[in-house]
């Protein structure tokens, strides 16, 4: 879930609030919660049963309680208080509407209006204060101490914290060759040394040769989005060296079973998107030993329901999506 790079531009382009609006603090319960409730909560609420099936919040992210919004989901924190341009929640609603990660998804709810985006950004920039609103407390985990007070911390946030230990932040010069080759690099959060890398703006030109520049920051990469790029199985050899990689998006690439054979040593990988790839059941066998996986997406790949079922048996803690 890291699209913070786009939000920085939207903030500068869209939000020119009047002095009177700036002076009045946003009331979350009266102004922001109605937006989230109407346009986000349908997909991001506590687990519930529908037609005999348990439906869980998309991406492990709940937005129906203050504690849940601050805890974040599978991609980590979704709100960085004081930094709307570093907040995933804001980034997702300001992406181009044809982007796969744009929220809310087409058909689920209307996109946020400019005024609603203004309110959301202003609320975050003011510190993401919920006032007296708590929301749905069902499922709230035990609270733990944190620099900003007592807030719940999810398992994935604990993982990012652990992966950050002993890692020094890199200066922007460290990834200038990646930028020159068409990649975009952003810290996971304002205080994290871990990085998110994607080639979404140059996908048609992103080849194995251009991706090779990422070797300079491999130790810091936690999120890697190669979707729709021209990379082949050869690139997976470089990906295999990213020991801190948590999320890997390969959808609509030429990656095949051979490419997956390189990934078995990634002990921290939680999410892999193989939608629209050439991966088959033979490739899924490569994933069975990766007990860290929590989400595998296989729509429109060469994998079969039988292969997906076998993978579920091998990885009972993972969500295997094939249809």
State residue 72's pLDDT score. Answer: 82
State the SS3 of the chain: CCCHHHHHHHHHHHCCCCHHHHHCCCCHHHHHHHHHHHHCCCCCCCCEEECCEEECCHHHCCCCEHHHHHHCECCECCCCCCCHHHCHHHHHHCCCCCCCCCCCCCCCCCCCCHHHHHHHHHHHHCCCCCCCCCECCCCCCCCEEECCEEECCCHHHHHHHHHHCCCCCCCHHHHHHHHHCCCEEEECCCCCCCEEEECHHHHHHCCHHHHHHHHHHHHHEEEEECCCCCCCHHHHHHHCCCCCCCEEECCCCCCCHHHHCCCCCCCCCCEEECCCCCCEHHHHHHHCCCCCCCEEECCCCECCHHHHHHHHHHCCCCEEECC
CATH number corresponding to 164-321? 3.80.10.10
Residues of the chain with CATH 3.80.10.10: 164-321
State residue 115's pLDDT score. Answer: 95
- The percentage of residues in the chain with a pLDDT greater than 70, rounded to a whole number, is 88
State residue 59's pLDDT score. Answer: 81
Distance CA 34, CA 110 (A): 13
64, 46 in Cβ contact below 8 A?
A: yes
pLDDT in tens, 288-308: 999 999 889 999 999 999 999
pLDDT in tens, 167-178: 999 998 999 999
Is pLDDT at 277 greater than 90 in this prediction? yes
pLDDT in tens, 10-67: 554 444 444 444 458 999 999 999 999 999 999 999 988 888 888 888 888 899 999 8
| Least confident range of 77-86, 137-146, 238-247 | 137-146
Of 84 and 315, the one with more pLDDT = 315
State residue 176's pLDDT score. Answer: 94
pLDDT in tens, 91-132: 889 988 877 778 998 888 999 999 999 999 999 999 999 999
122, 81 in Cβ contact below 8 A?
A: no
- Find the radius of gyration of the CA atoms of the chain: 20
State residue 154's pLDDT score. Answer: 64
pLDDT-based confidence at residue 248 (cuts at 50, 70, 90): very high
């Amino acid at each position: 879930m890291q699209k913070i790079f786009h939000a920085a531009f939207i903030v500068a382009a869209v939000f020119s609030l009047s002095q009177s609006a700036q002076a009045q603090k946003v009331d979350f319960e009266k102004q922001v919660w109605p937006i989230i409730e109407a346009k986000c909560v349908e997909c991001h609420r506590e687990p519930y049963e529908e037609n005999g099936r348990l439906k869980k919040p998309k991406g492990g992210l709940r937005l129906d309680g203050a504690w849940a919004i601050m805890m974040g989901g599978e991609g980590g924190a979704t709100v960085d208080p004081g930094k709307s341009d570093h907040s995933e929640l804001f980034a997702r609603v300001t992406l181009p509407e044809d982007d796969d990660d744009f929220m809310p998804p087409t058909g689920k709810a209307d996109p946020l209006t400019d005024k609603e985006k203004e309110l959301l950004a202003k609320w975050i920039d003011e510190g993401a204060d919920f006032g007296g609103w708590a929301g749905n407390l069902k499922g709230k985990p035990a609270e733990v101490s944190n620099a900003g007070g007592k807030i719940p911390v999810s398992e994935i946030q604990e993982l990012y914290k652990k992966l950050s230990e002993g890692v020094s932040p890199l200066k922007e010069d460290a990834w200038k060759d990646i930028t020159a080759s068409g990649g975009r690099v952003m810290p996971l959060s304002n205080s994290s040394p871990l990085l998110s890398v994607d080639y979404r703006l140059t996908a048609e030109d992103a080849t194995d040769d251009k991706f090779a520049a990422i070797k300079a920051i491999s130790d810091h990469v936690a999120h890697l989005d190669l979707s729709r790029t021209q990379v082949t199985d050869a690139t997976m050899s470089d990906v295999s060296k990213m020991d801190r990689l948590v999320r890997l998006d390969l959808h609509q690439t030429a990656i095949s079973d051979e490419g997956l054979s390189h990934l078995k040593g990634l002990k921290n990988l939680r999410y892999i998107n193989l939608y629209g790839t050439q991966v088959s059941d033979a490739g899924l066998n490569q994933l069975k030993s990766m007990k860290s996986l929590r989400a595998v997406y296989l729509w429109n790949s060469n994998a079969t329901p039988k292969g997906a079922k076998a993978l579920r048996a091998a990885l009972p803690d993972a969500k295997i999506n094939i249809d």
